[in-house]
Structures are given as C-alpha cells and as structure tokens.
Amino acid sequence: MKIFVDTAKLDEIKEACSWGIVDGVTTNPSLIKRAVDEVKGGGKRIDMETYMREICKTAGKGRPVSLEVISLTMKEMVEEAELLYRKFNPAAENVVIKIPINTNLDESEEIDYDALKTIKKLSRKGIPINATLIMTPEQALLAAKAGASYASPFAGRIDDYIRKKLGIEFGKVDYFDFDLIEKIGRQRLDKHLKNSRGEPVASLYLNKETKNSIGFGQDNGIGSGVNLVKSIMKIYRNYEIPTEVIAASIRNTRQIRQMAEAGAHIATIPFPVIRGMLQHPKTVEGIKNFSADVVPEYRELFQS
C-alpha cells in the first residue's frame, strides 16, 4: 500500500519525505488554510503561488500532489483545474487535480452532475483527477466511469456519521469498533425475532423494528469507513477498474492497518498519525534493554 501524507505544511512534507516511506501528498482548502494560518501566525507573509510550487518541488517527481479546485460548476472547475495544472505541474510534473464527486449544495439538478462532467472533460485532456469526498461505493463507481485516476473515500467521516446517528460520543482520533456495533445489531435483531415468533413472514419482514435492527449502525449497508473501502475495492476488482483507491480521512494507526488489509491502493494519512505508526511501548523497552546490554568488547568493534 502506498502512503501519502495528508498536509499542506511544508515542514511536515519535508520531514515525512525524508523518512523514505512517502509516495505522495494530498492537500485541500482546509489543510491549506491551516498551513497559511501557521505561517501568518509566525509573523511571516506568504506568497501563495510560491508556496504551492514549493509543495510540489518538495514532494518531488514521481510523488503525486493533489491540489483542489474551489468552484462548484463545470465551467469554473475546468478553468481552475487547468490553471492549477498549468501553474504548478511544471515544478515536478506531479500535480493531480482534486474534484469533489458531487458539488450540489441543494436539491437542484442543474449542477448535480457537473462534477462527473468535469472529471470526464479533464481526464480526456490528460489531466489526472482525484475524485474526492466520496462517501459511497456508488459514488466511487461513477468517479471511475468518468475517468478519475484516483477515488478518495472519506473513511473517518463515515465513521463519524454512523457514530453520531447512534448517539455515541467520540474524539476525532478514537477508533470506531464497527465489529462490536455489528454484534450489537445482530443481538437486537435476534431478540426482536425471538419475541416475534408466530408472526407472518411478510409482516415480520415489513416490521419497522426488524428493519431498524438489520440496518443498525449502517449507512445504506455500509458499517464503517473501512467497510466502505472494502466495498469499493471489491467493485473495482470485479471489473478490473484501473482507478486507484485513496483511503482518506484517516484518524488512527489501527485504521491504516485495516485499510491495508482491505487492499486499498493508497492511504493518505495526517503527519501525526504516520508518526504514530512506529510507536509501541515494547519497542521502546526493547531498545533500552539492547542498549544497556552492550558489552565493552562488542562496542569496541565499532570504534576501530
């Protein structure tokens, strides 16, 4: 699985790339705002063109850098995508344009499919597209059909959405135990069915409590962000779809492991979470013991 660092902070990109494990960078307007606020907070001025070009150069050739448009209609998104690609791709030939999978802000159908049209138009021009803000396998399938090079399902946000519906309090980096939620739902269903013995099948099937128990802890059949990625990967494999899946909105290291187990091509990970991948108390204990046990004779081997 490839690892992208999800940040717009130059120092984080430089540091992560120096570790030799980073394959790309993803940014978005929110990440850029945080980076800009940090620079301004330090009393420095920022030239955005220079800053964005530096991000691409720091990542380096061969490491894709996702830059996102800000408009919502096809005409404007195409213009902005071409501008971003023209201005910053020459720096290291690594720019990928992020297009939200659905830019509709209301129920109007007028702009409902502008994102798909934009992806199709830009991909035909040879501009690589990262379809972002994907929350369903259906959206991921449409993104691939439209020609996106990458599809970014937002795993953490799906976890948040499901937990909020269940009334579960959580911190942003908390692990969501979707297996436990599934067991609770199954227990509720078993209890309901046991109490409904003798009820006609049709009546039981249409019963509101039955449906609530079956769909417990799910978003239209999706039980977690990891489950979302698994579903997308299965669909892509079924039809040998070349679009790469970028597991996004990653909150903790356990989620990274599960994304790798799910077969995600890429995980884009916040800098602090990547750092957390190396941490374990027994590793610290082991290195302390090894260091303490070095005998003088062995140490002398390295001093000659």
Active site residues: 98
> How many other β-carbons are positioned within 10 Å of the β-carbon of residue 271?
17
Are 255 and 178 contacting, i.e. CB atoms less than 8 angstroms apart?
no
- Rounded CA-CA distance 192/215 in Å is 13
DSSP letters for 42-107: TT----HHHHHHHHHHHH-TTS-EEEE----SHHHHHHHHHHHHHHHHHHHS-EEEEEES----SS
- Rounded CA-CA distance 299/183 in Å is 54
> How many other β-carbons are positioned within 10 Å of the β-carbon of residue 239?
10
Q: How many residues does the chain have?
A: 304
Contacts 24+ apart (CB under 8 A), 255-262: 255/155, 255/156, 255/175, 255/225, 255/226, 258/226, 259/1, 259/155, 259/226, 259/229, 260/1, 262/226, 262/229, 262/230, 262/233
Enumerate helices (H) and strands (E) in the chain, giving the number of each: 15, 8
